Amino acid sequence: MTRVKICGITRIDDALAAIELGAHALGFVLEPSSPRYVGGRSDLLEAVASLPPFVSTVAVYGTRGTGRRDWEDVVSAVQAVEGDSAKPLLRTFRLQSEGDLALVAEAARGAAALVLDAFHPERMGGTGRPVDWSLASRVREISPVPIILAGGLTPENVAEAAYVVRPFAVDVSSGVESEPGTKDHRKIEAFIRAVALI
């Protein structure tokens, strides 16, 4: 079964809807440059602490030196391009070319999983750019840890992407939004339904 992470949650009603619709994990962005940044939101932090059990919550950083560490007291895991964590670490690997394959083992060191996202020269994630799925499939074959596929996923393409890559999980942000930070519940439902068909 391919698991689903809905990332870039900025509103508690979106979090609750994603849970109700079957999401396995929720991501909260603590990268200040992101339009989905929630680091200063104490109301959302308190709400995350009281979410139902058995739903993973993830503090999503660009580099580990940025963001608000108080979130790590309430989340299940940490996602970052660089840095370490006492919580399970999901290392973001911004896949750009075949030359990146040589870096997979190093990127996976100390990580619970690799999040494969598309490379962007200025932004850490949530760009809507797709990852090269055939290249992502090759990463999965050589990775010592599970793969979470991100980057440009939508309700329309996630089934094909998951079929080609065979990831442990898929991770979506902009592909289920009406605008940055505002989730479209119908798109979340369609996305999760498409994943369930795999």
**Residue 7 annotated among the catalytic residues of the structure:** yes
Report the share of the chain in percent with pLDDT over 70: 92
Letter string b/e over residues 38-57, b meaning 16 or more CB atoms within 10 A of that residue's CB? bbebeebbebbeebeeeebb
Q: What structural domains and CATH numbers belong to the chain?
A: 3-196 (3.20.20.70)
**29-38, 144-153, 162-171, range with the lowest pLDDT:** 29-38
14: confidence class by pLDDT, cuts 50, 70, 90: very high
| Strands (E) located in 38-126 | 56-60, 77-80, 89-95, 113-118
> Which one is catalytic: 7, 100, 132, 171?
7
List the alpha helices (DSSP H) in the chain: 12-21, 42-49, 104-108, 133-142, 158-165, 185-196
> What average pLDDT does range 69-88 have in this prediction?
88
Query: pLDDT tens digits, residue range 82-113?
Result: 888 889 999 999 898 899 999 999 999 999 99
> Which one is catalytic: 13, 84, 100, 117?
117
Claim: this prediction has a pTM higher than 0.85: yes
39: confidence class by pLDDT, cuts 50, 70, 90: confident
**Residue 117 annotated among the catalytic residues of the structure:** yes
